[in-house]
Amino acid sequence: MDFPKFLVADNTDLQEAVFIVHTEFPAFILNLENDEVKWLDDITDEREGDLTKTLEGLIAEAEDFYTREVERYNL
């Protein structure tokens, strides 16, 4: 089964939170309410300098994805 790179998720138990799920390596869930990130893949073996830059870019992409999705809903 193919998944998109990012998914929007929510849950009625956490009504204020919106989550972005990154489905590719390194997989993570970003809580947009508090910017908390839960890593789903083990990233400890990656080179720290390269990893930091990659992760910052992925989080920015996730936020851009959410903004685009919200704009599409508001059309």
pLDDT at 70 over 70: yes
Distance of alpha carbon 38 from alpha carbon 53, whole angstroms: 17
Q: What is the pLDDT of residues 1-13, one digit of tens each?
A: 888 999 999 999 9
Domain boundaries, the chain: 6-73
**Mean pLDDT over the full length of the chain:** 90
pTM of the model: 0.85
Q: How many percent of the chain have pLDDT more than 90?
A: 68
**Averaged pLDDT for residues 59-72:** 95
Q: Are 29 and 38 in contact (CB under 8 A)?
A: yes
Cis-peptide into 26, omega within 30 deg: yes
Q: Are 35 and 64 in contact (CB under 8 A)?
A: no
Position 11 scores a pLDDT of 93
**Averaged pLDDT for residues 7-36:** 94
Encode 3-26: b = buried (16+ Cβ within 10 Å), e = exposed: eeebebeeeeeeeeebbbbbeeee
